[in-house]
Amino acid sequence: MKQREITFTSGSIPKAMLIFVGPYMLGILLQNLYGAVDLFVVGHYATTADVSAVTIGSQLMSIVTQLIIGFATGITMRIGISFGANDQRSLSKTTGSAILLFSVSALVLMTIYLAFHALFVSVMQTPFEAIEATRSYLLACAIGIPFIVGYNVITSILTGIGDSKTPFLFVAVACFINIVLDVILVKYVQMGALGAAIATTVAQAGSFAFSLFFLRKKGLGFSLKKEDIRFNKVYIGHITKIGSPVAIQNLMVTLSFLFVTAIINQMGLIASAAVGVVEKLITFLFVPATSMGTAVGTASSQNLGSKQKKRAQKSMWWGILMALIPAVIIVIICQLRGDLLTGILTGDMEVVKKATNYLHSYIFDILLVSFVFCMNGYFNSLGKSWFSLLHSLITTFLVRVPFAFILSRLPNASLFSIGWAAPASTLLSLIMCLLFFFYESKRK
C-alpha cells in the first residue's frame, strides 16, 4: 500500500486519528465552503430574495448530498473491513460494484430533480419574492448531481483505506473554481442566485474530472480490473445493507431540517434568511464532530476486519473525547460573539440579529452530536447501521419537528426558542445510543 493510507490496526489510536482527521476536516470545510461562498457573495452583492433562494435551494440539494454520503458509508465500511483483513480481491470487487451501483443512482436522482424542481420549491413554502430565483438555483444545481455522486464514491473508497489527503486535494480544486466563478457571476455579471448555482455546478464538474485524472496517474492503492466493474450481488448486498439505513437516516434528518425551515419560512423573509445563515454556519461548526465520526467508522471497521473488537471500541471513545474539546470551545465563542460569525455570511443587520438569537440555543447541539456521531460510526462498522436510523427517526420526528412547530405557534415565538428543538432531539438520541452500546457490549 502507498504511504497516503493510514492503518488503524496497530500503534497509537489517537495519533492515527489525528493524522487522518486533519486532511479530512479540511476537505469537509472546503466542501462546505461551496454553499458558504454562495451565501457570502449573494448576501453582499445580491438581494435578500437571492439569499433566501440560495438558502432554500441548497437545503433541497443537501437531500441528494446527504443521501449519497449515507449510502456511500456502505462502501467505506466494506472497504475498511477488506483493508483491515488485507483482502485485495474484496477491495477490487467492492469498488467495481460501487461504481455501477452509484452511476445508476446518479442518473435517477438527476432526473427526479430536473422534473420536479418547481414542485420542491412550492412544498418548501418559499417566500413569494424568492420563488423564481429558487427555481433557477435548484435547476442549475440539479445538472451537477452526477458530479456530486462521483466525488463521494471516490472519497468513500479512499476513506475506507485510510486516505484522507487525496480527497482534500480534489475538493480544494472545486473550492477554488467556485470562489472565482461566484465573484465573477454574482458580483460583476449580477446573476444573483442563478450565478451562484452555475458556479457550484461547474466547480463540481471540474473537481470530478481532476479526481479521475489524478487517480488514473496515481492509482487507488490497490488493483482494479475491468471484470470487477459489474453488478456483483454479494458486494452490492454488503454495501446496501450498511449504507441504506444510513442513507435513509441522512435523508430523514435532512427532511426534518426542511420541515423546520418551512415552518420558519412562514415567519417572513428575514427569519427565512436568518435560519439559512445559521444552517450554513452549522455545517462548518459541526465539522470536528462529523470528521471524528467518520474517523471512528474507518478505524473501527479496519480493526474489526483484523479481529480486534476491543481496539475498535477504544477508537470510539477516543473519537468522542477528541470531538468534545473543539465543541466546548465553539459553544463558548458562539455565546460570547455569535454576531461576528453570523455577520460573516450577510450584511443585513436585521438578519444578523435574528440569526444570532437562533445560534445561541441551537449551538448546544454540538456537544451532544460529538457523542452521537462517533457512536454511530462504531455501530455502522458493526453492521448495526439500522440502529443509527432507528434512533434518528424516533428523535427527529417525535421531538425535533413537533417541538419546533409547537414553539413557532406560541405567542411572541422567537428563533431562540425554536433553536432548542435540535439539542432536545439529540439528547434523546444520546440516551438511546448509550443504552444500546452497553446492551451490545454485555450481550457479546
Residue pLDDT, tens place only, 97-152:
888 888 898 999 999 999 998 898 888 777 788 888 889 999 999 999 999 888 88
Give a yes or no: residue 236 inside a domain: yes
Least confident of 133-142, 195-204, 403-412: 403-412
Residue 1 lies in a domain: no
Task: Find the range with the poorest average confidence among 180-194, 212-226, 421-435.
Answer: 212-226
Which of 336-340, 348-352, 435-439 is predicted with the least confidence, judged by mean pLDDT?
348-352
Check: CB of residue 151 under 8 Å from CB of residue 6. no
Q: Does residue 127 sit within a domain?
A: yes
Residue 329 belongs to some domain of the structure: yes
Residue 370 lies in a domain: yes
Does position 232 have pLDDT exceeding 80, yes or no?
no
- What single-letter amino acid sits at 400? R
Question: Is residue 128 domain-resident?
Answer: yes
| pLDDT for 4 | 56
The C-alpha atoms of residue 428 and residue 431 are separated, in whole angstroms, by: 5
Evaluate if residue 425 carries a pLDDT over 70.
yes
Residue range 270-297: average pLDDT? Answer: 85
Give the domain range for residue 408: 13-443
**Between residues 225 and 138, which one has the greater pLDDT?**
138
Judge whether 7 lies within some domain: no
Least confident of 27-31, 99-103, 137-141, 157-161: 27-31
Instruction: Go through 203-230 and write b for each residue having 16 or more CB atoms within 10 A of its CB, e for each that does not.
Output: bbbbbbebbeeebeeeebbbebeeebbe
Radius of gyration of the chain (CA): 21
Distance CA 33, CA 344 (A): 13
Total number of domains in the chain: 1
Judge whether residue 419 has pLDDT over 90.
Answer: no
CA-CA distance, 227 to 215, in Å (whole number)?
A: 19
Q: What is the DSSP letter of 144?
A: T
pTM, 2 dp: 0.70
Q: What is the mean pLDDT of residues 268-282?
A: 81
C-alpha cell at 349: 443587520
With 60 as the cut, is the pLDDT of residue 22 above it? yes
On the question of pLDDT at 367 being above 70, the answer is yes
The count of other CB atoms within 10 Å of the CB of residue 187 is 15
Report which residue type is found at 416.
Answer: F
Cell of 76: 467505506
pLDDT at 1: 41
Report the pLDDT value the prediction gives residue 95, as an integer from 0 to 100.
81
Is residue 3 over pLDDT 60? no
Q: Which of 393, 394, 388, 379 is nearest to 441 (CA)?
A: 379
Residue whose C-alpha cell reads 445508476 in the numeric block: 104
Contact 134, 121 (CB under 8 A): yes
* Cβ atoms 79, 242 nearer than 8 A: no
Mean pLDDT of the chain: 84
pLDDT value, residue 369: 94
Asked if residue 294 belongs to a domain, the reply is: yes
CA distance 143 to 253: 24
Highest mean pLDDT among 38-47, 87-96, 388-397: 388-397
Q: Are 386 and 225 in contact (CB under 8 A)?
A: no
| Pick from 283, 271, 433: nearest CA to 357 | 271
Residue 164 has pLDDT above 80, yes or no: no
CA 432 to chain centre: 22
pLDDT for res 319: 93
CA distance 335 to 150: 39
pLDDT tens digits, 298-337: 888 888 887 888 888 899 999 999 999 999 999 999 999 8
* Whether residue 444 has pLDDT greater than 70: no
- Count CA within 13 A, CB hemisphere, residue 3: 0
| Rounded Cα–Cα distance for residues 280 and 57 (Å) | 12
Using the CB atoms, write b or e for 319-343: b if 16+ within 10 Å: bbebbbebbeebbeebeeebbebbb
The distance between the two most distant Cα atoms of the chain, rounded to a whole number of Å, is 64
Would you place residue 228 in the very low, low, confident or very high pLDDT band (cuts 50, 70, 90)? low
Confidence band for 2, pLDDT divided at 50, 70 and 90: very low
Q: Check residue 113 and give its pLDDT.
A: 92
Percentage above 70 pLDDT, the chain: 96
